[in-house]
Amino acid sequence: MIPASYNVRDLTIRPATVLAPMAGVTDTLFRRVIRGLGGCGLLMTEFTSSEGITRSAKKTLRYLYFQEDEHPITAQLFGADPRVMAEAAKMVEDLGYDAVDINLGCPAKKVVKCGGSGLLRDMPLLEQIFRAVRAAVKIPLTIKLRAGWDENSIVAVDVARLAESVGVEAIAVHPRTRMQGYAGQADWNLIAAVKQAVRIPVIGNGDINTPEDAERMVAQTGCDAVMIGRAAATNPWIFPQMQQYAASGRYDIPSDADRHRLLSGYYCEINAANLPDAVGKMKQFACWFSHGVGNGGELRRNVHAARTPGEVLESVERFFEHRASVVVGVDPEPVGIARNEDPAHGPSRPVRVQAALGT
């Protein structure tokens, strides 16, 4: 079963489940939805540019806003300048975050030019960054990495050993290469290899869509915790479902009423926050979330036709009112990710709504 908890030095994460950082998704509003549903031990911010933080860029600093009920929470940074990364990490510590994480996994072209998975090709620079950030902060330091740049340069075990040697205190592993993106299958054997190579906690990530998947990953790899990314965008209930499954071997499937309450409540929060990208965020979330809703295609069409946050809310209310008034004779669409959508980095081919990268 999924471990009840794990420790990163003196920080206890209970249960041993983590919300993965996702650009354009894991802002404070979405994180609080996840926290409110229960079952998630650790929240993480969108990955955030260290250069933007140190320049006090207003847009970038917005990514670091959080509320007290989000603890424990980790801020994830990306960048390639050791001095700037260290300075940004110290700012994160001063803001009250429980830990700071270095992104070594993002495959987006915009990010690999200045960090992300691009750093996996430069071990000396990576060591400089680790040492600089470790010296700059007292809070726990963690990393999230991919297997390597491509299939000919699988470096996850080497990076894990290096990280542990300079004071990194936990490692999340997504066992795909940068060149794979999100295609193919995550090689969980690599998570097991990292776990065997280090003594610090190892968090497994990749291809967990159900509580059963999480249980299999722990059994197969021996990892200390599981990290959920894309599945949380399509099924925010996956964390309490894992908790239910660990306790009883079963879990509840959200009803239409549950989905209505969550979607309507989340959209009301987005609307009330007066976000500059409110309509785009609503449409983006509808693309993922509605794949767990019967006749979800109609909901997606209605939301995409809306032009204001108020119109989006009206379309959601109309859809669920209609759903409640008829007897649905077909099973809902399976919870899953639309073929052209990637909650971590936006669509894989052009559509009308795109995720904003957390830079």
* Position 301, amino acid: R
- 106 catalytic? Reply is yes
Q: Which residue has the higher pLDDT, 321 or 135?
A: 135
- Indicate the SS3 state at residue 109: helix
Strand partners, 103: 144
Q: What is the pLDDT of residue 21?
A: 95
Q: What is the pLDDT of residue 180?
A: 81
The predicted-structure confidence for 6-43, as pLDDT tens digits, reads as follows 999 999 999 999 999 998 889 999 999 999 999 999 99
Cβ-count burial 321-359 (b if 16+ within 10 Å, e if not) = eebeeeeeeeebeebebbeebbbbbbbeeeeebebbbbb
Q: Examine the pLDDT at 291 and tell me if it is beyond 90.
A: no
Average pLDDT over residues 180-192: 89
Q: What is the pLDDT of residue 326?
A: 63
CA distance linking residue 137 with residue 134, whole number of Å: 6
Strand partners, 142: 101, 170
CA distance linking residue 288 with residue 313, whole number of Å: 17
The tokens for 134 are: 């470790």
CA distance linking residue 155 with residue 133, whole number of Å: 21
Cβ-count burial 59-94 (b if 16+ within 10 Å, e if not) = ebebbbebeeebebbbbbbbbbbbebbbbbbbbbbe
Average pLDDT over residues 221-230: 97
Indicate the pTM of the whole model: 0.87
- Give 286's pLDDT tier (boundaries 50, 70, 90): confident
Tell me the average pLDDT of the chain.
87
Cβ-count burial 129-159 (b if 16+ within 10 Å, e if not) = bbebbbebbebbbbbbbbbbbeeeebbbbbb
Q: Which residue has the higher pLDDT, 298 or 227?
A: 227
Q: What is the pLDDT of residue 245?
A: 95
Q: Examine the pLDDT at 348 and tell me if it is beyond 70.
A: no
Q: Examine the pLDDT at 247 and tell me if it is beyond 50.
A: yes
The predicted-structure confidence for 124-140, as pLDDT tens digits, reads as follows 999 999 999 999 999 99
Q: Minimum mean pLDDT among 79-83, 98-102, 182-186: which range?
A: 182-186
- Indicate the SS3 state at residue 10: coil
Which residue in 40, 106, 223, 287 is the catalytic one? Answer: 106
Q: What is the pLDDT of residue 138?
A: 98
The radius of gyration computed from the CA coordinates of the chain, to the nearest angstrom, equals 20
- Give 281's pLDDT tier (boundaries 50, 70, 90): confident
